[in-house]
Structure 1
Amino acid sequence: MTAQATDGRHAEDFTVGEECDLGTYEVTEQEVIAFASHWDPQDIHIDPGHAETGGRYGGLIASGLHTLAILQRLQVLGRREHWNVIAGQGIDRLRFRRPVRPGDVLSGHSRVIDVRLEPEWRRGLVVFDVRALNQEGKEVLTMEMAAYLEMRSEATAGRRA
């Protein structure tokens, strides 16, 4: 176990139903264009003129991958304490619900939906329902995200906070 693993939250500290607000993030036009220019260079993401007149969304919109990256940032920075993450396990049911536009203020929210302790590996799989909402409270992205976290020790295996 690392020195870092002695502090912060471990897999056995999470309970199903636990919720967390993850903070907010304002999306800028410059950031939308810069991200998409590098990672998703479609006109609806990088060309305001085309997006306004030729796109079906009536203006520039952020790449879905950009929205996912923003939500990941909120997920990491929105934690109130250190988590002893080993690795992400995966993302399921990822849905882009509506476009994200420059000027939108996104907020993140997560809820624990499953905790599976694996004492033989000194880890647990924690699964979260994660959502991003715009300033109107409308969902822009939903997903289930799972991560492996360290357990404290074999002595606490099977116990939950």
Structure 2
Amino acid sequence: MDYFEDIEVGRKASFGNYHVTREEVIEFASKYDPQPFHLDDEAAAQTHFGRLSASGWHTCAMMMSMLVENMKSHRQAGLGSPGMDNLRWTKPVYPGDTLRVESEVISKRRSASRPEMGLFKSYVKVFNQDDETVLEMTSNGLIRVRNPEAPIEA
């Protein structure tokens, strides 16, 4: 299991293979983002999307699915997340696209007030099958410290 001490700044990962279906795009949008360009071909054709597109929040959910699946194969002493920074949807996601993720750990620090946990930041990008970036963000992850009694390095 990976703990805070095992996280290396600069570590990169590439993973995921998520096929986006028309049915899932419409199902997600119907429930969480019922805008016409996520639900209806004719309405979507009249927008800058040109055709039915996935909600950005659906793209986030698909990314999260790939992140969690990757964490299962690389067991981590994770404690959740206090949020994300600089989320950008850079290109629409369409039914028929296949998504994948690349991430890089960009920083880490121990918590001064909670010595049993640390925080690490990762720059995350989601790509479609043409290697075009469709989403980018900075992820903030909380993780257990293996030895909370160890001094916090400055």
- Is 1:27–1:103's contact at 8 Å kept on the other side of the alignment? yes
Normalization by structure 2: what TM-score? Answer: 0.92
1:137 aligns with 2:120: no
Task: Choose which of 73, 83, 92 in structure 1 pairs with 2:76.
Answer: 83
1:61 aligns with 2:64: no
Secondary structure in 2 aligned to 1:126?
Answer: strand
How far off its partner does 1:49 sit?
2.5
- Is 1:21–1:78's contact at 8 Å kept on the other side of the alignment? no
Q: How many residues align?
A: 151
Match of 2:21 in 1: 28
How far off its partner does 1:157 sit?
5.2
**Which runs of no fewer than 5 residues in structure 1 stay unpaired?**
1-7
How far off its partner does 1:156 sit?
5.2
How far off its partner does 1:45 sit?
0.3
Task: Choose which of 28, 31, 37 in structure 2 pairs with 1:44.
Answer: 37
How far off its partner does 1:66 sit?
0.2
Work out the CA distance in 1 between the residues paired with 2:22 and 2:151: 48
Once the two structures are superposed, residues 71-120 of structure 1 have per-residue CA deviations (whole angstroms, 9 ceiling, x without a partner) of 11111102332111112011000000000000000011111001102365
- Is 2:115–2:148's contact at 8 Å kept on the other side of the alignment? no
Secondary structure in 2 aligned to 1:36?
Answer: helix
Work out the CA distance in 2 between the residues paired with 1:138 and 1:157: 43
Work out the CA distance in 2 between the residues paired with 1:49 and 1:18: 44
Task: Choose which of 149, 152, 160 in structure 1 pairs with 2:143.
Answer: 149
Work out the CA distance in 2 between the residues paired with 1:76 and 1:104: 20
- Is 1:12–1:158's contact at 8 Å kept on the other side of the alignment? no
Q: Please tell me the residue identity of whatever aligns with 2:100.
A: S
Cα RMSD (Å) of the superposition?
Answer: 1.5
Work out the CA distance in 2 between the residues paired with 1:154 and 1:50: 55
Work out the CA distance in 2 between the residues paired with 1:61 and 1:42: 10
Q: Please tell me the residue identity of whatever aligns with 1:150.
A: R
- Is 2:117–2:148's contact at 8 Å kept on the other side of the alignment? no
Task: Choose which of 110, 114, 119 in structure 1 pairs with 2:107.
Answer: 114
What is the aligned-residue identity percentage?
34
Once the two structures are superposed, residues 14-44 of structure 1 have per-residue CA deviations (whole angstroms, 9 ceiling, x without a partner) of 1110011121101000000000000000010
Identify which range, 96-105 or 111-120, moves more after superposition.
Answer: 111-120
Work out the CA distance in 1 between the residues paired with 2:26 and 2:151: 47
- Is 2:25–2:53's contact at 8 Å kept on the other side of the alignment? yes
Secondary structure in 2 aligned to 1:41?
Answer: coil
